[in-house]
Amino acid sequence: MTKQTDPPNSSVSLFGDYRQIRSSDTPDTLAPGKLRMVITYLEMKKPPIYPHTSPRAENISIIRAYEPNADFYRYLYNAVGKDWLWYERNQISDKELEKIIRHPKVRLYVLYLKGTPAGYCELDFRVDKQVEIAYFGLISEYTGRGLGTYFLKSAVQTAWSESPDRVWVHTCNFDSPYAIVTYQKVGFTVYRQKEEIIDDPRVDQTTL
């Protein structure tokens, strides 16, 4: 996932309870080695009020990783993203990666269950008065336990603690099918969707 811009030349159709934007520039038939990516943007413009819940019984902790190194970050990134075609952070060098994740306005939080990493969240405060949930997810074996909603609510509350005007996130059709539902469950609303054609990162493009 990366920061995205507004989609050009788009037409709008209904898709569930929000608007799907289909770009008129994207072909119906894809060339070999190409993938159709549908990106969905969600936002909050005011802090949510979550009902009080009792602490979870499991041994859970959320710890900020200060100055994480590239190896640790790549472990989390690939453990969470291997099933969802996360690839972009693997295409940059360790030096470039650490420049991002060690930036004073970027925060990395790790969810631990019984002392073992279960997921992570990256919050990006670099744009004034906005916070992006740049990456968020659980390692597959920890899904289906309600941990995602628990962790996401904590991330949202942390984002709003800096009093931004807006908190936003984007997901795509290669992410978990539960991603959009989970974001909406904690208070995000969809405001845009666009389509892009990308190179399949699993394919050696030089052989096509």
Longest CA pairwise span in the chain (Å): 55
| Distinct helix (H) and strand (E) counts, the chain | 4, 9
User: Quick one: tokens of 102?
Assistant: 């060690």
**Rounded mean pLDDT for each run of 10 residues along the chain, 208 residues in total:** 39 36 62 89 97 76 97 98 93 97 98 97 98 97 93 97 98 93 97 89 68
130-138, strands of its sheet edge to edge: 60-65, 106-113, 116-124, 130-138, 166-172, 34-44, 189-199
Coil, strand or helix at 41: strand
Coil, strand or helix at 154: helix
- DSSP string of 114-135? TTEEEEEEEEE--STTEEEEEE
- Contact by Cβ (8 Å): 103, 147: no
Q: What is the pLDDT of residue 19?
A: 41
Strands (E), 24-124: 34-44, 60-65, 106-113, 116-124
Coil, strand or helix at 32: coil
- Does domain 10-207 fall under CATH 1.10.1740.10? My reply is no
Q: What is the pLDDT of residue 100?
A: 98
| Amino acid in position 126 | R
Which helix (H) or strand (E) is 152 found in, with range? helix 147-160
CA atoms of 18 and 123, how far apart (whole Å): 25
Query: What are the distances in angstroms from CA 88 to CA 13, 100, 204?
Result: 29, 13, 15
Q: What is the pLDDT of residue 106?
A: 98
Q: What is the pLDDT of residue 206?
A: 55
Q: Of 145, 95, 100, 147, which is closest to residue 122 (Cα–Cα)?
A: 100
Q: What is the pLDDT of residue 31?
A: 84
In this prediction the pTM is 0.83
Spell out the domain ranges in the chain: 10-207
Strands (E), 24-98: 34-44, 60-65
